[in-house]
Amino acid sequence: MKRERGINELYSDPDRADAHLWGRKPDPLTRRGFLNGAGLTAMALAVGAHIPFARNMPGGLIPAAFAQNGSFVINGKEDLVVLNERPIGAEARAHQLDDDVTPTRYHYVRNNGNLGAMARSMDSTGYRLVVAGEVDNPLELSLDDLKRNFPTHTWNLQLECTGNGRAGYEPHPSGMQWTIGAVACSRWTGVSLADVLKAAGVKPSAVYTANHSDDVHLSGNPELQALSRGIPISKAMNPHNMLAWEMNGEPIPDIHGFPVRMVIPGWAGSASAKWISRIQIRDQVHDGRGMTGMSYRINKYPVRAGTDVAPEDMNIVQSMPVKSLITRPETGVSTPVSSALTVRGQAWAGDQTVRNVDISFDFGQTWQTTRLNDPVNPYAWQQWETEVRFPIPGYYEIWARATDSNGRAQPQVVPGWNPRGYLNNVMHRIAVTAV
Ligand SMILES: Nc1nc2c(c(=O)[nH]1)N[C@H]1C(S)=C(S)[C@@H](COP(=O)(O)O)O[C@H]1N2
Ligand SMILES: [Mo]
């Protein structure tokens, strides 16, 4: 199984971290945990100065200087937690997701490859979106064609990575070790995907979209795609999917899919193709990169943690499950005993809506209902809020549990283990001390 290596992971293995970052070969004899020679020179160059006490530096230490000068920071995403640099994976902390509309700087990033030429240049001249395959009327649309020929909408749409919460599974499935922050609800401007498909005249033989994008496989091999997923035609015809060119009132940033991306809200994030260049309508389930094998699939039946599952016993993930976040207060705060503490957050439920959100601060014995907003438009996440008063000083946990319109609620413990660690919608909890 392919395993992505992030800086957090390197950090826990000092020898490998130093070898990877500074080219240090661990000394098999001494196993000394400090840098010398070429590795030290590389680090001094990177921090911009000689390091007088280098001999005291623990092995695998990532210099704090990088927290300021940006070496392990993504431009415009300075406050996100970087899980992986190549390809980029970065997630938000719960309190950064407190807004109705997630500010772009707090919107998580998940790239499978590297940026293509148009995103690197941020110049959309010559952009074309091709719609072909099982259609009566193949289309080739410029950005202006998209803007002029179809009604424009602006909608708040929630997007969540299928692997959000993966770090909670034991044993750890391979892939980015997301905790809670690979979810966001930005305000997208664009056209309805269904309007474009209707203009192309989808034939009765149509089964699935095949999304082709302009990003580059990590190997640089132009024959390989970084990701090429698709959705069933029935979902593609849902009027709330977008071909978007603006995110939060600005052209979509390079890493989020400039100049045009799909937003398929409520479904596995990987369906929302960034840098979309071609929508091929197919008469079978698409088999591009990310559609086959174990990718974005979950076992049909519960299995014991760590079990190998045969590909034919796996289903493609479609709608994401009901979930919620506590965005206020931040975990770890202290609050005066018996005065009202505002607790609030977001909740979302894939293709469903959220019916109610309840919270508990006695480890799930009693629950209190919160005030829950309706979504501002279909597929927007829903804000909830309430007040709590702690009876006596001490350590409390606040747990939040959302229930969807079908009556399905979030589980109190991590749900069924699956080989790639998808769909972890365990309740979010925070720690609060009453003083
Ligand atoms: N072309 C392309 N589209 C893509 C990806 C990608 O790597 N390449 N990543 C997908 C995944 S796995 C997710 S979760 C979302 C992330 O979108 P964001 O980075 O804008 O948050 O984009 C999806 N679209
Ligand atoms: Mo994802």
Beta bridge partners of 430: 398
Q: How far is the CA of 421 from the centre of ligand 1 (A)?
A: 17
Give the integer Cα–Cα distance in Å for 184 and 80: 12
**Which has the minimum average pLDDT: 57-71, 239-253, 296-310?**
57-71
Q: How far is the CA of 348 from the centre of ligand 1 (A)?
A: 19
Across the chain, what does the average pLDDT equal? 90
Give the integer Cα–Cα distance in Å for 276 and 324: 30
pLDDT > 70? residue 6: no
Residues lining ligand 1, CB < 6 A? 107-113, 159, 161, 213, 215, 226-227, 256, 269-270, 272-275
Pocket test residue of 272, 276, 289 for ligand 1, highest count of atoms within 8 A of CB: 272
Give the integer Cα–Cα distance in Å for 337 and 158: 35
Say if residues 321 and 335 touch (Cβ distance below 8 Å).
no
Q: How far is the CA of 327 from the centre of ligand 2 (A)?
A: 22
Residue 283 main-chain phi, psi, to 5 deg? -95, 20
CA nearest ligand 1 atom 16, residue: 110
Q: Which atom of ligand 1 is nearest to the CA of 213?
A: 1
User: What confidence tens digit (pLDDT) does each residue in 368-397 have?
Assistant: 999 999 999 999 999 999 999 999 999 999
Range 264-293 average pLDDT: 97
User: What confidence tens digit (pLDDT) does each residue in 25-60 have?
Assistant: 555 555 555 566 777 777 777 666 778 777 777 666
Domains of the chain and CATH, by start? 7-62 (no CATH), 81-316 (3.90.420.10)
Give the integer Cα–Cα distance in Å for 229 and 243: 15
Say if residues 155 and 187 touch (Cβ distance below 8 Å).
yes
Range 282-290 average pLDDT: 97
Give the integer Cα–Cα distance in Å for 395 and 99: 27
Write the single-letter amino acid at 424.
N
**Which has the minimum average pLDDT: 43-47, 114-118, 167-171, 334-338?**
43-47
Q: Is 419 exposed, middle or buried (0-12, 13-18, 19+ CB in 10 A)?
A: buried
Residues in the chain: 435
Q: Sorting pLDDT into bands at 50, 70 and 90, what band is 68?
A: very low
CA 229, 230, 231 angle in degrees (round to 5)?
145
Q: Which atom of ligand 1 is nearest to the CA of 112?
A: 7
Residues with CB in 5 Å of ion ligand 2: 110, 161, 269-270
**Is the pLDDT higher at 110 or at 12?**
110
Q: Considering every ligand atom, which ligand is closest to the CA of 162?
A: 2
User: What confidence tens digit (pLDDT) does each residue in 213-239 have?
Assistant: 999 999 889 999 999 999 999 999 999
Beta bridge partners of 213: 276
Q: How far is the CA of 111 from the centre of ligand 1 (A)?
A: 5
User: CB neighbours of 432 closer than 8 A, spacing ≥ 6?
Assistant: 329, 331, 332, 333, 334, 335, 341, 361, 390, 395, 396, 397, 398
> What is the Cα Rg of the chain in Å?
23
Q: How far is the CA of 165 from the centre of ligand 2 (A)?
A: 11
pLDDT > 70? residue 19: no
Longest Cα–Cα distance in the chain: 72
Q: Which DSSP string corresponds to 216-273? A: B-TT--TTS-S-----BHHHHTSTT-EEEEEETTEEPPGGGTSS-EEE-TTBBGGGS-
Residue 25 CA neighbour count, 13 Å, CB half: 3
Q: Considering every ligand atom, which ligand is closest to the CA of 88?
A: 1
User: What confidence tens digit (pLDDT) does each residue in 76-133 have?
Assistant: 898 999 998 888 999 999 999 999 999 999 999 999 999 999 999 999 999 999 999 9
Question: How confident is the model at residue 100, as a pLDDT?
Answer: 97
Question: How confident is the model at residue 10, as a pLDDT?
Answer: 47
Q: How far is the CA of 128 from the centre of ligand 2 (A)?
A: 25
Question: How confident is the model at residue 21, as a pLDDT?
Answer: 62
Question: How confident is the model at residue 5, as a pLDDT?
Answer: 44
Question: How confident is the model at residue 18, as a pLDDT?
Answer: 64
CA nearest ligand 1 atom 23, residue: 270
CA nearest ligand 1 atom 18, residue: 109
Q: How far is the CA of 71 from the centre of ligand 2 (A)?
A: 24
Question: How confident is the model at residue 7, as a pLDDT?
Answer: 43
CA nearest ligand 1 atom 22, residue: 270
